[in-house]
Amino acid sequence: MGSPWLRKVHAPRQRLSHLTSFERDAQDAVDLMKALGFDKFSLLGWSDGGITAMMAAAKNPDLISRMVVWGSNAFVSQQDLELYEAVRDAWVDGIAQYAKRPEGSICMELLPLISCPTLIIHGEKDPMVPNFHPQYLLKHIKGSQLHLMPEGKHNLHLRYADEFNKLVENFMED
């Protein structure tokens, strides 16, 4: 019959609200790492993956050793909605649902629960994530560090792969 976790992963997913997808993805990632036998692990998350990583780290502090996030945000502002409209697609409809929550919160209330060392990397020319988002994360995630990449955009890990990989490697080795 297999494990309940495998049935869950392989079962067809119902169309769920974007408002629950980050939480579900965070739990699925943690469940996968546990199923693979990891007692502690680090997280790297880009864009929506960073939101998922922050939620996983906040809800599972004993499991997460370190975390690196880039191109991520903890809330949706009016400026974000305007940027999203410029690239309108199905994702925009989903993420815009958060703007209806108090302060546009995606995971703002969870940030103080993150206790692992966290590196926030941000491209200062990111057209999708305004510069106030990494500043907010830095202020609300205890002991976090921020590294700004002046020429970086949303996909800075691809365009500046060597610099990005060295930053992450150094952070993970500390």
By annotation, the residues acting in catalysis are 47, 126, 154
Question: Letter for the amino acid at 44?
Answer: L
Place of tokens 């949303």: 154
The answer to whether 143 and 87 have CB atoms below 8 angstroms apart is no
Reading the block at residue 125, the tokens are 């020319």
Cα separation, 164 vs 114, whole angstroms: 23
Reported in sequence order, the residue ranges of the chain that DSSP labels E, i.e. its strands, are 41-46, 64-70, 118-123, 145-149
Q: How far, rounded to the nearest angstrom, does the alpha carbon of residue 124 sit from its chain's CA centroid?
A: 18
Reading the block at residue 75, the tokens are 């809330």
The answer to whether 60 and 30 have CB atoms below 8 angstroms apart is yes
- Strand-pair partners of 120: 69, 146
